[in-house]
Amino acid sequence: MMILSGDPPRSRVLTLVLILIILALALTPFLFPGAKALNVAAKICVFAALVASYDLLLGYTGSVSFAHTMFYGIGSYAIAIALYGMGPNWGAVATGIVVGLPLAALLALAIGLFSLRVAAIFFAMITLAVASAFQVLASQLSWLTGGEDGRSFQLPELLRPGTVLISRNVLGFEVNGRILTYYLVFAVSALMILALLRVVNSPFGRVLQAIRENRFRAEALGFRTVFHLTYANCLAALVAAGAGILNALWLRYAGPDTSLSFSIMLDILLMVVIGGMGTIYGAIIGATIFILAQNYLQSLMGVASKAASEAGLPLLPGLLHPDRWLLWLGLLFIASVYFFPTGVVGRLRNGGGDKSAGTSH
């Protein structure tokens, strides 16, 4: 209870699903051999943390930000540029963290202060504009960021796949630097999610929910809503940058497509809404569903598309083409905002019934 900050999943099915996901992630290197499974698992860990931090904004304060990938990208690029420029040592990793995290927090502070000065409705639009400018900037400053190619780098000795920590003879399987990196990603992501759970269940988190429900009333109660919103913005940016650092460490690469593109922003939005806004647990569920679909549904769609084109059906092969999987997720997204706005988690907590006890906006 302590570790969950007194906010248990509150549903037997949900608890079971969460335990299953976490066990599967923890044991992936041993249960599912192969590089692809490990990649998918690492991506789920990183995105669970990233989406949870976005949930702090969207679900708990009710403000839509389109600049979340920018902070994620800042984290990724900070570590990539540091390791690329200073060589593969731990000093470079530390430099990347020390530069990346405060930079993300400062930028979040600036955006928060600026867009809260103007009408609150502008927040979503302004974050969208700033994020797109940042994306262009990152691809143009190629001397620093490597432009469209991004930056590939080497990890410190300990984290490399070639480093064998426990050889195959001892336990029957090999524990190498790659697996160590995976557990680093897993542990840090878990820590960040638990920290976010702590934040939303603190008095501060309660104020955020009060602001979401009725900003005017929260202000009338004497809370400085601007301070609370900006603070939440900075916290979310810090965690997003942290997730970006993990992502870059795992991929040994940072580039516009993997850490800055607008499609990642849409992915995050989809994950939060499908998982359930304002629950934190929804982030884990949403990230798992989405990334599994992204990696395994596509091949299924390829088969269906081929079958449709062999059957000579018009249009269907195009609609079922593996590259068009986002189309179906978009439809799923609209349907979930429509029919179950509280997402999977809200649905499970309400026992499957359509009670309107969930969050309302």
Q: Which residues bind other proteins (CB under 8 A)?
A: 58, 62, 64, 114, 117-119, 121-122, 124-126, 128-130, 132-133, 136-137, 140, 262, 266, 269, 273, 315, 318-319, 321, 323-324, 326-327, 329-331, 333-334, 337-338, 341, 361
Between 179 and 289, name the residue whose CB sits nearer to other proteins: 289
Between 163 and 209, name the residue whose CB sits nearer to other proteins: 209
How many Å is the Cα radius of gyration of the chain? 21
Query: Closest distance between other proteins and the C-beta of residue 147, in Å?
Result: 13
Q: Residue 97 has which token pair? A: 């963290």
Residues in CB range of 186: below 8 A, 6 or more apart: 25, 26, 41, 42, 45
Between 98 and 129, name the residue whose CB sits nearer to other proteins: 129
Query: Closest distance between other proteins and the C-beta of residue 153, in Å?
Result: 26
Torsion of CA 306, 32, 276, 185, to 10 degrees: -120
Between 62 and 244, name the residue whose CB sits nearer to other proteins: 62
Query: Closest distance between other proteins and the C-beta of residue 218, in Å?
Result: 16
Residues forming beta bridges with residue 254, ordered by sequence position: 151
Query: Closest distance between other proteins and the C-beta of residue 277, in Å?
Result: 9
Q: Which amino acid is at 197?
A: L
Between 97 and 124, name the residue whose CB sits nearer to other proteins: 124
Whether 143 and 110 have beta carbons less than 8 Å apart is answered as no
Query: Closest distance between other proteins and the C-beta of residue 305, in Å?
Result: 10
